[in-house]
Amino acid sequence: MPSTTITEHFDIAFISLYVFWLFFAALVFWLHRESKREGYPLVTDRKGRVRVVGFPDMPPPKTFITHDGRSITVPRTNEVEPPVVGAVPAAGFFGAPLVPTGNPMVDGVGPAAYAQRADVPDLTFDDGVPKIVPLRTAPGWTLAAEDPDPRGMPVVGADGKVAGTCTDAWIDISEVLVRYLEVDIGTRRVLVPMTLARVDGKKKQIRVVSVLASQFADAPGLANPNQVTLREEDRICAYFASGHLYATRARQEPLI
């Protein structure tokens, strides 16, 4: 009498292996397609602006609701005109490095490039209020007593010259740390990323070696003196960080 045991007709181990392979292949396909929600389609610099998508094609548009109530639809179905870049190719072949035609720190070239992020402040998750604020508008918040207070200290650039005076510290009330130092340069006030500033408690000064003292004047400003938006943050950080390459001509030359 023939056996009715299913395992005598099917190899469960091989079936499980094939199912896993199919699942894994589908997962890789899905992840690769989902990765094209930002930055696609690519647009080349060739004549006619060739549209590059590759395989697989872009996923269908999906709308995400952010915690502050805004909606974002990606990938963007409408073609966005690329921004004008203040640089030209160094040679005639595709992929040639770009040579700045003006002030690259202001034009957003190379390390000074920034994303077109939303022109709204970053908000706290629980309360929905701006998370990066100056100390003057944050009652109940103070700097640690064991750390030097940067307020009132002169700010010195890479050339050893005084660019201005620190007037306030901007804190991140979500991460509980200092994000920016506010510097009065005489004509206006600018923000300097705390990660690029060194507060010397003994010398009573703040040193910013990425830029020269005169270059503080061209730093991106704020639309609201008591609030910084995501786009403004990107521009500020890109400007001061790019000074490590663009602040002086010598920094753009090879070391050897």
Tens digits of residue pLDDT in 43-65: 666 666 567 788 888 888 889 88
Does residue 4 register a pLDDT over 60? no
65, part of any domain: no
Tell me what pLDDT residue 110 has. Answer: 86
Nearest 10 degrees: Cα torsion 42, 46, 49, 53: -30
Residue range 197-217: mean pLDDT, rounded = 95
73, part of any domain: no
Q: Give the Cα-Cα-Cα angle 184, 186, 237 (nearest 5 degrees).
A: 45
87, part of any domain: no
Residue range 192-210: mean pLDDT, rounded = 95
Which domain covers residue 243, as residue numbers? 119-252
192, part of any domain: yes
29, part of any domain: no
1-10, 58-67, 136-145, 160-169: least confident range: 1-10
**What is the value of pTM for the model shown?**
0.79
158, part of any domain: yes
Other CB atoms within 10 Å distance of the CB of residue 5 = 8
The pLDDT confidence band at residue 83, using thresholds 50, 70 and 90, is: low
Residue range 71-77: mean pLDDT, rounded = 80
Residue range 231-256: mean pLDDT, rounded = 90
How many structural domains compose the chain? 1
Residues 101, 87: Cα–Cα separation, whole Å: 5
Residues 100, 108: Cα–Cα separation, whole Å: 10
Query: Domain containing 139 — which CATH number?
Result: 3.90.50.10
147, part of any domain: yes
Tell me what pLDDT residue 191 has. Answer: 97
Mean pLDDT of the chain: 87
189, part of any domain: yes
Does residue 82 register a pLDDT over 70? no
Residues 78, 57: Cα–Cα separation, whole Å: 16
Q: Which tops the pLDDT comparison, 2 or 222?
A: 222
